[in-house]
Structure 1
């Protein structure tokens, strides 16, 4: 009898264990099925959300390239650029905002065509920034954010055009200039490129070059869509906490930026110009924050260096760096989060670069913000002290990326982030990255 009761108890315990095991297996299966289903739905949603708008731009860019490849005169190529660019633009911008968008920039364009002042570049740049701020004040936050990228591209093009034509009137080149401004390949997503680069794209190339450009452009577009999928779907897989949660939040924001950059690079490659727009490896595995700034948006960095930093170099390095970051911030409109992030990045970049240069010079170590081309330091890149210091700066750069990118979590992105949101995210980190930045600045002064 005792043995029978014991067997019944063992049997009951076994049944409980089997039930628990079965429940865990079903729970794991449900989780895996749910996750895979969510990813599948996310991927299909990514394609459905962009297939019409992006597909239309790609088709019009290919059509523009086919027209350029013919024997049509330059004037016909310019007019086709204007026509196709207008189709893209009016399809993208709501009709209610079309006049509001182009009227301020029409004034800037008129200055470029009519003014012969040597200061035309500075005047037009200021006028463009004022135009951006006026448009922001006249539109709702959601409307402005929706077309902010277009406004930034136009601002950079108009500013560069004004500097390139300083001292001369450009009325005779009104049609080529307009074709440059609203080129269908670059009017929506960029990237920035100069009027000289645009004229180069109008040149006929060999059949081999055309085919290679189209194939390379398609490959870059494929990479862009991979970035879009990762940006949109990674939160389903990576649901971390604390600093790891903020890391993936910031990385999701960064990969959405890579999507836009590679999309613009693919389009401009198809249109006949091969330029780099970003360097994800320099951002994700940075040697320094200087590499992050350059690799984040190579085309915009090219504009800021050529048409802002060098133009204001007479004020000194620190002032011209600050002005570059300030103008970059104002091109986005008045937004606390973007301004705070960019100015914080400019501050820490300047002093990190200064600190590393001083350490390199004082201790003869290969620890500058960028690797030496012909290193002559006593402590080269393979020295353990050099490796340790470079590793510390690498960790510092990664944490700054986490900290500065964490507020871009998608909450309120359609209308612009508020300063309450930004400060609440940074408060979770106890403003650590800002304190570290002040420490770097102090160390750069003391060493």
Structure 2
């Protein structure tokens, strides 16, 4: 490409990368988007709650099979195991802790290569969502946020909610129940879906077609060998960042399209689900901003169900436990553990320096 003029480069980029990438991305997710929209329309028909839960289970199973084939069995096994523990411990006041231990053992068994590595890694994202939902539900029942242990069809509907089963994000059990109640189809809902879809597409194109050629094609910076190495490292980092933003905005699309991700203010419904805040990550005021803005629902889950429960061990240990839980959910690896451990120390220092920043 070095022999191309700038105009020729842009023409080749559009024809050879931008258009094919956008079309391939749409080809990969159009079925999921269609199922999400179908469930949203069905929930507006006033069906009995049990039928709605069964429909979302069916939609979730269909999408899992569409994306993962028979490898979805590992997600199904985890969900069945979690409900079995929740049911057997329905009279206990430690359901959240027991579910956490169950998830911990299950994930460790998979990470220790007791399951086929390729299959396990492919299912990691979906399993992470199931694990987070099960643990949060256990603690919510313990705290009285959820009045009683849900029925099997309610639990499975929550776990396999079509808007979050593939790409996330994590939503609470109460948010799921609000979603299946079926809010009105409004212009603000459609606008939110369209906004997230546009941002999702832009992030996909930035990750695939812009970041690899950032220097010097888009930003004309040249330098010696050392500088070029740093620029190349930044290109790789930028590509990774935008791929994460792509998944974040795509999860906004699927969640909102299926009826989740809103807040209510009196009689007004605000479709305000936000998964990632790229500007806070790229231009942060603190490391805490980076950690929380990378994935807002996961950060909220970590803060509510891990950090707060571990505070009895002390602030430092609570922060380390939180980042250890994050490392396990994302998959055990030395590099990831080292990065998260470093983030834990930095967050602890910032927590001590700025006590008002209490969200990890």
TM bin (shorter chain): 0.7 to 0.9
Structure 2 residue runs without a partner (length 5+): 217-227, 263-272
How has the CA–CA distance of structure 1 residues 170 and 290 changed in structure 2, closer, same or farther, with 3 Å as cutoff?
A: same
Higher relative contact order (CA 8 A, sep 6+): 2
Q: How far has the Cα of 1:236 moved from its partner?
A: 4.1
Q: Determine the structure 2 residue equivalent to 1:71.
A: 46
Provide the aligned length of Structure 1 versus Structure 2. Answer: 331
Give the TM-score, by structure 1 length: 0.69
Please state if 1:215 is matched with 2:191.
yes
1:224, CA displacement in angstroms?
A: 0.5
Q: How does 1:270-289 map to 2 (within 5 A)?
A: 270-272=257-259, 273-274=261-262, 275-289=273-287
| Residue number among 299, 306, 312 corresponding to 1:314 in the alignment | 312
User: Counterpart in 2 of 1:360?
Assistant: none
Residue 199 (structure 2) pairs with residue 201 (structure 1): no
CA distance in 2 between counterparts of 1:179 and 1:369 reads 35
Structure 2 partner of 1:337: 335
Find the counterpart in structure 1 of residue 242 from structure 2: 255
Structure 1 match to 2:159:
181
Residue 139 of structure 2, aligned match among 153, 163, 177: 163
Unaligned runs of 5+ in 1: 1-25, 358-367, 371-447
Q: Which residue of 2 aligns with 1:133?
A: 108
Give me the whole-angstrom Cα distance separating, in 1, the residues matched to 2:161 and 2:79.
16
The answer for the alignment partner of 2:126 in structure 1 is 150
What are the equivalent positions in structure 2 for 1:48-447 lying under 5 Å apart? 48-95=23-70, 97-115=71-89, 116-136=91-111, 137-166=113-142, 173-208=151-186, 211-239=187-215, 241-272=228-259, 273-274=261-262, 275-355=273-353
The answer on whether the counterparts of 1:118 and 1:166 sit within 8 Å (CA) in structure 2 is yes
Contact map agreement 1:235 1:248 (CA 8 A) in 2: yes
SS at match of 2:348: helix
Q: Is the 8 A contact 2:78 2:127 kept in 1?
A: no
Q: TM-score, normalised by structure 2?
A: 0.85
- Cα RMSD for the two superposed structures: 2.3
Deviates more, 1:167-176 or 1:272-281: 167-176
Deviation per residue, 1:169-203 (Å, 9 max, x gap): 96662111110100111001100010011111122
1:66 Cα deviation after fit: 0.1
**Residue 113 to residue 50, structure 1, CA distance change in 2 (3 Å):** farther
The whole-number CA distance in structure 2 between the counterparts of 1:53 and 1:138 is 30
Using a 3 Å threshold, how does the CA distance of structure 1 residues 56 and 233 change in structure 2: closer, same or farther?
same
Would the alpha carbon gap of residues 177 and 237 (structure 1) be closer, same or farther in structure 2, given more than 3 Å must change? same
Q: 1:374 — aligned with what?
A: none
Change (3 A) 1:142 1:34: farther
Deviations 1:307-361 (A, max 9, x none): 111111211111111111100101122211221111111111211343466xxxx
Q: How many Å separate the matches in 1 of 2:350 and 2:184?
A: 47
Q: Deviations over 1:278-300 (max 9, x none)?
A: 11111111000011111110000
Contact 1:114–1:171 under 8 Å retained in 2: no
Distance, in Å, in 2 between the alignment partners of 1:369 and 1:308 is: 17
User: Is the contact made by 1:38 and 1:236 (CA closer than 8 Å) also made in structure 2?
Assistant: no
Q: Distance in 2 between matches of 1:99 and 1:190?
A: 18
How much does 1:80 deviate? Answer: 0.8
- Is the 8 Å Cα contact of residues 117 and 167 (structure 1) preserved in structure 2? no
Q: 1:112 touches 1:161 (CA, 8 Å); kept in 2?
A: no
Alignment of 1:26-65 (within 5 A): 27-29=3-5, 32-65=7-40
